[in-house]
C-alpha cells in the first residue's frame, strides 16, 4: 500500500473552494465536499476515502480512523491537531498533516482586537447603544500606552501579537520554555520565569498548545499573584486558562476582564463566563478570515498534491521516517533498509528477538532511527496489513522485535548491515541504487541490485537448469551474481515452481 496513492478525498468541514479545486486540477483527485457531516455519517462514509480534510469541528476519533480502512492521510487545514487522535492515526499508519502558519496572522490580529476591546469595553458599549442607551460614565476605559502585556507562548502567534502591541507602546514581556531569550529579545520581548511574570502584567495572553503542562496555566494560584484587575485573553485553546478559576477571579474583582475565543467545550454549554459582563466571548473565530482560510485551504491541498506526485512530504506531524523517504539524499537508503529487512524476513523461518542495524560512513551518522523504521517495514511486510514508515517502529515493539542501531564513523565504506537470527546482510548504494554486498560470509563479486524479482540459493549457479526452468515458466534471466557461498539471479517475472532448482527462495522487492 503506497501512502502516495490518494485518489478520493473527503472534506468534512467548511473550507475555501480553492482547496478542492487544487486537489482536482493539480492532483487528479476525486473530492467530495460535505461540510457539517454528523459523526455517524462520517463513520459510515469514511471507508470510501484515502484522505480526509478537516478544520477543528470534525472530531477524527479512533473510531473514525479505524472505520477508514483505506485512509492514508488526515489533513488539518489549520494549526491545532487536538481534534485528531494522532496516536491512533500513527498506529494505523495514517499520516496527519497540518498547515501551522496559514492562520497565525489572523489569530494574532484577533488577539490584538480583544486587547483593545477589553481596554475600552468596545463590544459592551456598542451593545448598550443598540439598546438605546447613551452611557458615557459606565464605559470609562484605560490606555494601553505604557502598560505591560505578558505573552505566554512565544511561537508563531505570540511573536506576531508582541510586534503589533508594541505599536501601542505597550511593554511586551513573556515566557516560553523552548524559544531562547535572545531570540525573543530580537522581536522586543523580554523573558522572565513564569513566577516573575504574574505581578508585572496588566494584560496576559496565552499562545501555547493545550498540553498537560499548559492545562490550567492560568489558575487560582496564578490569579492570586497577578495585579488586581488584570485582563486575560485566550485565543489559543480552551482550558489553558482554568475556566472555573477565571470565573472566581472575575467575581472577586481580581480579574478585570477576559477575551475568550476558545472554550473547553465548544460551543460552551456552561454559560456563566459567556454571560459575564466583563467577558468578551467569540465563537472560535481566530482563523475565520478569508485570507487565513484561503491560505490554509491552498496549503493543505498543495501538500497533498506534492505527496501524490511523490515530490515532497510537507507538514506531517507524525511521520519523521517517511519524511526522509522524500529527500533525494536519504530516499535510496530508506529503499535499501526496506529491501534488506524484506530479505532478512525471507531468509529466516520466523522473526523475533533482536535485529541490529549498523551504519558506517559519515553521511549515515544520524541515519539510525529512520533506517531502523525502514528495516522494520521490510521485516514485517506481508505479516502486517498496514505497515509503513509511519507506524514501522510502533509495530516492531508490539510484535516483539527489537530493532536497534549503532554507528561506526571513520573514513571506511558507507554501508548498512542488518543482522538477526544468526544472519548478517551487508548492503550499500551503487550510483544511488540499493545493492546487496554480502550474506554472512558470502561476498558477491559485484553488487547485487535489490530490485524486482530475485531468486537466491546456496552454492554455485546451476545455469542450464535455471534457464530451462525460467523459460518453461515464461520468465527470463536478467542478471546473475555469484559469491563464495550464495548465488542470486534477477528474473523478469515470478516463477510458481522452483522445486526443480533445489532449495532456493524467491523474493519480490
Ligand atoms: N483561535 C484560533 O482560531 C487559533 C488559530 C490558530 C492557532 N490557534 C492556537 O494557538 C496556539 C498557538 O499557536 P502557534 O501557531 O503560535 O503555535 P507555536 O507552536 O508556533 O507556538 C506555541 C509556543 O508555545 C510554547 N509553549 C509550550 N509550552 C509552554 C508553556 N508551558 N508555557 C509557555 N509557552 C509554552 C512553545 O514552546 C511554542 O513556542 C495553539 O494552541 C493553536 O492551536 C488558535
Ligand atoms: O488551530 C487552529 O488552526 C485554529 O483553532 C483554527 O481552527 P478552525 O480552522 O476550526 O477555525
Residue 31 to residue 19: CA distance in whole angstroms: 10
pLDDT tens digit sequence for 482-502? 888 888 999 998 888 777 667
Ligand nearest to the CA of 240: 1
**CB of 102 shorter than 6 A to ligand 2:** no
Span 192-238, pLDDT tens digits: 999 999 999 999 999 999 999 999 999 999 999 999 999 999 999 99
Query: Is 266 an annotated catalytic residue?
Result: yes
Classify domain 8-102+290-318 by CATH number: 3.40.50.720
Nearest CA among 306, 336, 300 for reference residue 323 = 306
| ipTM of model | 0.99
Rounded distance from Cα 157 to ligand 1 centre (Å): 7
Whole-angstrom distance between the N-terminal and C-terminal Cα of the chain?
A: 13
Cα(241)–Cα(263) distance, integer angstroms: 9
- Per-residue pLDDT tens digits for 100-122: 999 999 999 999 999 999 999 99
The CATH number of the domain covering residues in 320-450: 3.30.1330.90
pLDDT of residue 410: 67
Closest ligand relative to 156 C-alpha: 1
| CB 48, CB 69: distance < 8 Å | no
% of the chain surpassing 90 pLDDT: 73
207 is catalytic: no
Per CATH, is 103-281 categorized as 3.40.50.1220? no
Half-sphere exposure of 419 (CA within 13 A, CB side): 10
Question: Does 177 sit in the ligand 1 pocket, CB within 6 Å?
Answer: yes
Pocket flag, ligand 1, residue 70 (CB < 6 Å): no
pLDDT in tens, 438-458: 999 999 989 999 989 998 888
Among 284, 295, 415, 481, which one carries the catalytic annotation?
284
Residue 80 in contact with ligand 2 by CB distance below 6 A: yes
pLDDT at residue 460 greater than cutoff 80: no
Residue 88 burial (10 A CB sphere; 0-12, 13-18, 19+): middle
Amino acid at each position: 500500500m503506497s501512502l502516495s496513492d490518494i485518489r478520493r478525498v473527503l472534506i468534512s468541514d467548511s473550507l475555501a473552494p480553492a482547496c478542492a479545486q487544487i486537489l482536482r486540477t493539480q492532483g487528479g483527485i476525486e473530492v467530495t465536499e460535505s461540510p457539517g457531516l454528523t459523526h455517524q455519517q462520517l463513520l459510515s462514509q469514511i471507508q470510501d476515502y484515502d484522505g480526509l480534510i478537516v478544520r477543528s469541528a470534525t472530531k477524527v476519533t479512533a473510531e473514525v480512523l479505524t472505520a477508514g480502512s483505506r485512509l492514508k492521510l488526515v489533513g488539518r487545514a489549520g494549526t491545532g491537531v487536538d481534534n485528531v487522535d494522532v496516536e491512533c492515526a500513527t498506529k494505523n499508519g495514517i499520516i496527519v498533516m497540518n498547515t501551522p502558519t496559514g492562520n497565525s496572522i489572523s489569530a494574532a490580529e484577533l488577539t490584538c482586537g480583544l486587547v483593545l476591546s477589553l481596554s475600552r469595553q468596545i463590544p459592551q458599549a456598542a451593545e448598550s447603544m443598540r439598546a438605546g442607551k447613551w452611557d458615557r460614565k459606565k464605559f470609562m476605559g484605560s490606555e494601553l500606552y505604557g502598560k505591560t502585556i505578558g505573552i505566554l507562548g512565544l511561537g508563531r502567534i505570540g511573536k506576531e501579537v508582541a510586534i503589533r502591541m508594541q505599536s501601542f507602546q505597550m511593554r511586551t514581556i513573556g515566557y516560553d520554555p523552548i524559544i531562547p531569550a535572545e531570540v525573543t529579545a530580537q522581536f522586543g520581548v523580554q523573558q522572565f520565569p513564569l513566577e516573575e511574570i504574574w505581578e508585572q502584567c496588566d494584560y496576559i495572553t496565552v499562545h501555547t498548545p493545550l498540553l498537560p503542562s499548559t492545562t490550567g496555566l492560568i489558575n487560582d494560584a496564578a490569579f492570586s499573584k497577578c495585579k488586581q484587575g488584570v485582563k486575560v485573553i485566550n485565543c489559543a485553546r480552551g482550558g489553558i486558562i482554568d475556566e472555573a478559576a477565571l470565573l472566581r477571579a472575575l467575581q472577586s474583582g481580581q480579574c478585570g476582564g477576559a477575551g475568550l475565543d476558545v472554550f473547553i467545550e465548544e460551543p460552551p454549554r456552561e454559560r456563566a463566563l459567556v454571560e459575564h459582563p466583563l467577558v468578551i466571548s467569540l465563537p472560535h473565530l481566530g482563523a475565520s478570515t478569508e485570507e487565513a482560510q484561503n491560505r490554509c485551504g491552498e496549503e493543505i491541498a498543495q501538500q497533498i498534491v506534492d505527496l501524490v506526485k511523490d515530490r515532497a512530504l510537507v507538514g506531517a506531524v507524525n511521520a519523521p521516517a517517511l519524511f526522509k523517504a522524500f529527500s533525494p539524499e536519504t530516499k535510496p537508503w530508506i529503499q535499501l533498509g526496506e529491501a534488506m529487512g524484506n530479505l532478512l524476513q525471507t531468509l529466516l523461518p520466523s522473526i523475533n528477538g533482536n535485529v541490529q542495524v549498523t551504519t558506517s560512513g559519515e553521511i549515515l551518522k544520524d541515519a539510525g532511527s529512520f533506517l531502523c523504521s525502514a528495516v522494520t517495514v521490510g521485516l514485517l511486510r506481508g505479516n502486517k496489513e498496514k505497515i509503513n514508515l509511519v507506524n514501522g517502529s510502533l509495530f516492531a515493539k508490539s510484535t516483539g522485535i527489537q530493532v536497534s542501531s549503532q554507528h561506526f564513523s571513520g573514513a571506511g565504506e558507507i554501508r548498512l548491515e542488518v543482522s538477526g537470527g544468526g544472519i548478517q546482510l551487508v548492503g550499500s548504494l551503487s550510483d544511488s541504487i540499493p545493492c546487496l554486498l554480502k550474506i554472512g560470509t558470502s561476498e558477491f563479486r559485484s553488487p547485487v541490485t535489490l530490485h524486482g524479482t530475485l531468486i537466491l540459493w546456496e552454492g554455485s549457479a546451476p545455469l542450464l537448469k535455471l534457464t530451462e526452468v525460467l523459460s518453461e515458466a515464461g520468465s527470463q534471466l536478467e542478471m546473475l551474481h555469484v559469491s563464495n557461498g550464495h548465488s542470486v539471479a534477477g528474473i523478469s517475472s515470478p516463477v510458481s515452481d522452483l522445486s526443480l532448482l533445489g532449495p532456493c527462495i524467491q523474493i519480490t522487492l
